[in-house]
Amino acid sequence: MALMSATLHSLAHISLRLFDAQQSQFAADASALACVVAQEDLARKIAEQNFAQIIETKKLGDKCIVVVKANHVVRRAVAVSVEGLDLPTLQR
């Protein structure tokens, strides 16, 4: 019985961490796209709407790199704009 309880607790913990990682990556992707399309202020608002905070933002010409933290999970995303065409984020 104790082993089954420990197993269920571990599965619940792993599921929660996977959800946190997914939420953090979604916030990073959305923020990077907002940064490259509009501006860094919009990227911060989008991160906050996704219950995350931006740790680092770098805008290098038509490329924007955003590092986001949500629920102790840190994720990074890169978005690029080429001649007005916004490319999907590159997860790192």
Domain range for 51 is 2-91
What is the per-residue pLDDT for 66? 87
pLDDT at residue 87 tops 70: no
What pTM did the predictor assign?
0.69
Per DSSP, the residues of 42-59 read HHHHHHHHTT-EEEEEEE
The count of domains in the chain is: 1
Q: Do you know the residue count of the chain?
A: 92
What is the per-residue pLDDT for 85? 61
- Note whether 29 and 76 are within 8 A (CB): no
pLDDT digit string, tens, across residues 58-83 = 888 888 888 888 888 888 888 887 76
pLDDT digit string, tens, across residues 8-53 = 778 877 877 788 788 888 788 888 888 877 777 788 888 888 888 8
Burial 35-58 (b: 16+ CB within 10 A, else e): bbeeebeebbebbeebebebeebe
